[in-house]
Chains A and B, each alone.
Chain A
């Protein structure tokens, strides 16, 4: 008899802890040719703003040791575009038991509010909204607002009254305990961390950045130990659930996040390299839970012994 994998991420009932990191999973349908996406506990869609964004110039990504660096700049079709393009698909996915978390982008408090209001009006399929206050690749908004407790709190204070749906916040890899506490105090239902880590990659022959901007966001296996540590810090600091993100390649990587205190865990860059990785990782997670001799994955959350 297999153990129960069901978890509750701040009011979002997931049949298993697996989620996808926003920005590495498109809007879900891109993966339907590789496996049945509804096997996941949830997906998190690419960040969307109230109006479409063109994103940053080329080049937008480069390989780095142990991962990749990107500067996409949250290119998105706007909430209306998302709903028109794939709202029906996302509603179907949710009906099949896979929760749909829609990520929200903005350059300012007003833009976050406008996007949340549009999701409320147009996206009944959204199981929850994830406010991205930590994108490293946009000039204002994003990490500029999410890297201080005051800035982070200001955004959540403004959007919280606009939605009764579960509200998640995508956190920057900085000042985790104090920002986590500030977000909890403003009524966030769950925290997602970490967003990509600000970094640089330089072509020494041309002396130019390998991206169109000097800095970008690091993701991939190189981030995993940092993300596990920050998830552990967040889980110590707050009582709301945490979704761990960063360099997951295997069920063992998911297990590390759970032991560190994560309720759910997102697969990120690995989706891009191994587009059919999620069913494999889910099977590996199930095997680990069974091996641990528990009948509920929740019994392993925060079960780090040290």
Chain B
């Protein structure tokens, strides 16, 4: 009808199957979402409506780690950062939540990729976890660098180690686990050591800026997944704007995954 295509997002009623802390303020929630599980692609996200808390008007945008298409289930991992996520963490098993998805564009992993480097920091590990599983399912060799502020906030590294053929390297800002410092340290070392044909990064903007700059210097395609506060998730409110070399884009509809070479980092 002569307009851009609307979002693929649809409203689903989800049942909470599991809900528990996994590492300090990092929680996981497993949801039965029916058909939505088969629609989600690695790097896409959902917007969760938290009920029973008057102060939460907008939905919470969350990434997923994995889907179980046969069971119609998805797993979301998130950090409790405010009233909305705190309310979500108190959600009881068996209750229902409104979920809007699939939202956004996920990672673009070419079929002929041979070796991929995945780099995460903090809750950036969530979409990187999903990307890793997507690479493994296609038989692509992967190395993963997982960064966290401290040992008590690390999760998912054992699961990643059991999946990937390459290395899983851990870093913590305080040195309480793995290498001391940001994930950019081991990531830059790996970029110098090994030949990659794709780099995927999600985490704090300085991490994405530093790692993507080196990848671009080396001529390796690099994608970053950006986090923004957002009110709708489907292109209506203009709150999740991303500065790119092609002008302002929206993280919800044009991203959250962008080619790193197009992003103007702040």
Measured CB to CB, the residues of A under 8 A from B are 23-34, 46, 52, 54-55, 57-68, 70, 72, 75, 85-89, 91-92, 220-221, 269, 271-276
Contacts and interface: CB of A to CB of B under 8 A. Distances in A.
B175 to A, nearest CB: 24
Contacts of A27: 3
6 contacts: A34-B10, A63-B58, A66-B57, A70-B237, A86-B3, A91-B2
Interface stretch (B48-56, B124-132, B215-223): B48-56
Contact of B56 (A34, A63, A86, A269): A63
A89 B2 contact: yes
B248 A54 contact: yes
B1 A88 contact: yes
B256 to A, nearest CB: 13
A60 B241 contact: yes
Interface stretch (B22-30, B157-165, B226-234): B226-234
B228 A269 contact: no
Main secondary structure of the interface of B (DSSP, over half): loop
A33 B8 CA distance: 7
Contact of A92 (B2, B55, B232): B2
Interface in B141-169: none
A68 B234 contact: no
A46 B238 contact: yes
A220 B57 CA distance: 7
A85 B3 contact: yes
Contact of B234 (A28, A30, A52): A30
A253 B6 CA distance: 28
A272 B6 contact: no
Interface string B81-97: 01110000000000000
B100 interface: yes
Nearest to A221: B57
Contact of A75 (B83, B228, B236, B238): B238
A282 B58 CA distance: 22
Contacts of B110: none
Residue among A32, A52, A87 with the highest chain B CB neighbour number at 10 A: A32
A266 to B, nearest CB: 14
Given A24-B237, A63-B57, A63-B84, 5 more contacts: A28-B3, A30-B234, A34-B10, A269-B58, A273-B231
Contacts of B185: none
A57 B264 CA distance: 12
Contacts of B56: 63
Contacts of B8: 33
A246 to B, nearest CB: 13
A89 B3 contact: yes
A266 B56 CA distance: 21
Contacts of B230: 61
Contacts of A87: 2
A34 B8 CA distance: 10
A34 B84 contact: no
Interface in B1-55: 1-4, 6-11, 49, 54-55
A276 B3 contact: no
A190 B237 CA distance: 25
B59 interface: yes
Contacts of A221: 57
Contact of B241 (A26, A34, A55, A91): A55
Contacts of B10: 33-34
A63 to B, nearest CB: 6
A55 B238 contact: yes
Contact of A61 (B1, B2, B3, B239): B239
Nearest to A20: B236
Residue among B1, B239, B240 with the highest chain A CB neighbour number at 10 A: B239
Nearest to B11: A276
A63 B82 contact: yes
B59 to A, nearest CB: 6
Contact of B58 (A25, A68, A89): A68
Q: Which 6 A-B pairs rank lowest in CB-CB distance, beginning with the nearest? A: A88-B2, A89-B3, A29-B3, A26-B236, A33-B6, A272-B232
A83 to B, nearest CB: 11
Contacts of B82: 63
Contacts of B54: 65-66
Contacts of B232: 30, 271-272, 275
Nearest to A87: B2
A82 B100 CA distance: 27
B251 to A, nearest CB: 9
B122 interface: no
Contacts of B241: 55, 58, 60, 72, 75
A109 B106 CA distance: 43
A123 to B, nearest CB: 14
